[in-house]
Amino acid sequence: MKIIITDNYNTLSAAAGDIIAQQIKAKPDSVLGLATGSTPIGTYKHLVEAGLDFSNVQAFNLDEYYPIPRTNDQSYYYFMNENLFSQVNIDKKNTHIQNGEASDPQAECQRYEDAIKGAGGIDLQLLGLGLNGHIGFNEPDSHFPKATHHVALDESTIEANSRFFASSDDVPRHALTMGIGTIFNARKIVMLISGEAKADIAKAVIHGNIDPQIPASILQLHPDVTIILDKDAAKYVK
C-alpha cells in the first residue's frame, strides 16, 4: 500500500483531489466510486474548485441508508447532490446510488451490482474509514461480504453517525452497501483517514492482521491502494 502522510485535513483533501483530478484527465469517462461522511467533503470542494470536466464521468456511491427517502437531508443521495453533483457538470443519469426507498432491498442490491459491472467496473474508488474499521457499511463480521448487500448497522456506527441526526433514534438501522468484493474489484483505491480519533484503527488497518473484524484490513492485499492520512491519524503509522 502506498501511504501518504500530510500535515492537516486541507492538505489531505488537496492530495486526494489531485489523484482524482489526474484520473479524470487521463480517462475522461472514468467510473468513480464515491464516499460520503465528513472526510471526503474537502476533497469534493477541491474537485469543484479545480473546474474539471465531469461530463463523461460515471459515479457509483458506496452506500445508502435503508430505508430513507431521497428528500431526507441525511440521505447520501442528498449529500452527494449538495457536496458535488450539483456543483460540477456531471450528467445526473451517470450518478448512481442505491435506492433507499426500494421495496425489495435484495433486488435493489443485485441491480446495483449489475449496473457497476455494466459500466465496466470502477476505475477509482474513494473510501473513508469508520472508527470500527468499516469501509462502506461493511461492518466487523466473521467474514468479508462479497457483493452489494442489505446490512444492519453496528451500534457503534449508529452512535458515530448520530452526530448528523437530531438523535440516535433517528439514524436508520440498516443500509445498502457495496460489498468488500465490489470495492476490491476497483482498479485503484484511495482511502482517506483524518483525525486523532482514527489513529488506533488506522494502525490496525495498515499494520495489523487481515481480519474481517477490521474490514478495511483486506485492502493490504489489493494491488493499487493509496492511503492518505493527516498527521493526527498517522500518529502510530510507521
Q: Of these residues, 94, 99, 132, 138, which one is catalytic?
A: 132
CB-nearer residue toward ligand F6R: 105 or 128 = 128
49 noted as active-site residue: no
139 noted as active-site residue: yes
Nearest approach in angstroms of CB 36 to ligand F6R is: 4
Q: CB under 8 Å to 216, separation ≥6 — which residues?
A: 127, 129, 133, 134, 135, 191, 201, 205
Nearest approach in angstroms of CB 101 to ligand F6R is: 18
192 grid coordinates:
482517506
Q: Of these residues, 96, 139, 161, 185, which one is catalytic?
A: 139
Nearest approach in angstroms of CB 57 to ligand F6R is: 18
Residues in touch with ligand F6R (CB under 6 A): 35-39, 62-63, 128-130, 134-137
**CA–CA distance, 51 with 60 (Å, rounded to integer):** 20
10 noted as active-site residue: no
Nearest approach in angstroms of CB 38 to ligand F6R is: 4
**CA–CA distance, 9 with 31 (Å, rounded to integer):** 25
Q: Of these residues, 46, 96, 134, 149, which one is catalytic?
A: 134
CB-nearer residue toward ligand F6R: 28 or 69 = 69
Nearest approach in angstroms of CB 40 to ligand F6R is: 7
143 noted as active-site residue: no
Q: Of these residues, 63, 108, 123, 230, which one is catalytic?
A: 63
Q: Which residues are catalytic?
A: 63, 132, 134, 139
